[in-house]
Amino acid sequence: MFVLPFAGLLFAGTLLGAARLGTKLDPGLTLPARVDFQRTALVALALGLLVSAVRQIIDWVLRVRARRRRPVPLPG
């Protein structure tokens, strides 16, 4: 769960860096500089991070519930 924000920042930073520097390095590289491409990529990023976060939270809740149901062995 703690890795998700860093993965999002890395993806968004790479995308915005390619948009800013891509045309300087390769003039034919225009797709990352288009606003609609950036919006679509960032929406996909947000949805992916949301799905991953929900999956991890559900997994954590299920593990906690399973741990509570486990019987405690009696001493002796």
How does pLDDT run across 49-64, given as a tens digit for each residue?
Answer: 999 999 999 999 999 9
Per-residue pLDDT at 8 exceeds 70: yes
Q: How many domains does the chain have?
A: 1
Distance CA 43, CA 15 (A): 12
pLDDT band at 40 (very low <50, low <70, confident <90, very high): very high
The DSSP string of 7-45 is: HHHHHHHHHHHHHHHHHHH-TT--GGG-HHHHHHHHHHH
Does residue 74 belong to any structural domain of this protein? no
Give the domain range for residue 38: 4-69
Does residue 75 belong to any structural domain of this protein? no
Predicted TM-score of the model (pTM): 0.76
Does residue 22 belong to any structural domain of this protein? yes
Does residue 76 belong to any structural domain of this protein? no
